[in-house]
Structure 1
């Protein structure tokens, strides 16, 4: 069984987290049955961007990072306090661990800024929230990333994406990295994605 650490910061967007639980959950029951998602946070209760509360299965200090095969991180809103957890030393340690082990890391929207903040995107191609009214691409570039204004960017074992609309594609991309293209097509078909 491949265990995926779904790392949740206060202020995360619920829809961006739910794609990982759904896609990898469908795989657990209907695909090759090889994936299990564990939700992890710094607090016993987390507040989503739109005031939806979530109780993570584990607190970060309760887990051993070596037990996990991949890392998934949804984005969130600054106004909801997302960057307080996201830029914490605890989150940075998690990111650096998975990068050092070259294990898959999948982020949606501004979650790539967590990777940039940790230093792992230095001289690597990446993207983040790219709406013309946003300065997030410039922020990502300030971390030394080679910014690509693209929908989704795959660089080595890392997936970054440009907005919430990419969420399912990122989750399927992570599933393919963990299983196979054929298995991913099967799960997509079962979920109604053609």
Structure 2
């Protein structure tokens, strides 16, 4: 059975960017583990609650088949977080899917893994992607090799389907 780790802010993450891709994956039997900078209850922008089972520094990439960075205003705490950036690199080097939705794409840019890759992000992150060497497309969803990026909540379900397809 595949296992995927969702990196989620402790608060103000975008609810539907979390629960829609999670549902797509879990409906096919994939185990989704949520990780953050704290364990216990996490709260989304619109009141959705979930539970972090792992601290991001405890994540072993060998235990997971893909990593997903969830967007929303809260995700800015990961933009320069050593562990978040290292994990993106570790998964990328192992040729495992690395994905982000909304503003969380800035994490991938800051990790240095978007150089020469087509990518998209919520418009506020466009300059960070370009600075990180990405080929910014502005498309709702972008897949370039093992990197999957999505623009925002409107494509959260399609984002989940793209992650699912990458695991086949």
TM-score w.r.t. structure 2 length? 0.90
The structure 2 residue matched to 1:43, chosen from 15, 38, 58, is 38
- 8 Å CA contact 1:112–1:160 kept in 2: the answer is yes
Equivalent residue for 2:75?
Answer: 82
Looking at structure 2, the residues matched to 177 and 123 of structure 1 have their Cα atoms a distance apart, in angstroms, of 20
Looking at structure 2, the residues matched to 38 and 22 of structure 1 have their Cα atoms a distance apart, in angstroms, of 12
Looking at structure 2, the residues matched to 49 and 85 of structure 1 have their Cα atoms a distance apart, in angstroms, of 17
Unpaired stretches in structure 1, ≥5 consecutive residues: 29-34, 180-194
Measured after TM superposition, the shift of residue 146 of structure 1 is 1.1
Matched, 1:12 2:22: no
The structure in which a higher percent of residues are strand is: 2
Q: Deviations over 1:117-144 (max 9, x none)?
A: 11110121111113xxxx4212321221
Looking at structure 2, the residues matched to 136 and 62 of structure 1 have their Cα atoms a distance apart, in angstroms, of 28
Looking at structure 2, the residues matched to 144 and 83 of structure 1 have their Cα atoms a distance apart, in angstroms, of 19
Measured after TM superposition, the shift of residue 73 of structure 1 is 1.6
Number of residue-to-residue matches in the alignment: 166
Measured after TM superposition, the shift of residue 52 of structure 1 is 4.4
The structure 2 residue matched to 1:172, chosen from 143, 161, 164, is 161
CA 1:54–1:87 in 2, change beyond 3 Å: closer, same or farther? farther
Looking at structure 2, the residues matched to 90 and 106 of structure 1 have their Cα atoms a distance apart, in angstroms, of 16
Matched, 1:66 2:67: no
- 8 Å CA contact 2:8–2:70 kept in 1: the answer is yes
Measured after TM superposition, the shift of residue 169 of structure 1 is 0.3
1:121 match: secondary structure: coil
Pick which of 161-170 and 3-12 moved more: 3-12
Matched ranges for 1:115-194 at <5 A: 115-130=108-123, 135-179=124-168
Q: Deviations over 1:61-83 (max 9, x none)?
A: 33322111111121111xxx431
Looking at structure 1, the residues matched to 56 and 139 of structure 2 have their Cα atoms a distance apart, in angstroms, of 32
Higher CA-based Rg:
1
Q: Please tell me the root mean square deviation across aligned C-alpha atoms, in Å.
A: 1.7
Measured after TM superposition, the shift of residue 25 of structure 1 is 1.0
- 8 Å CA contact 2:118–2:137 kept in 1: the answer is yes
Measured after TM superposition, the shift of residue 48 of structure 1 is 2.4
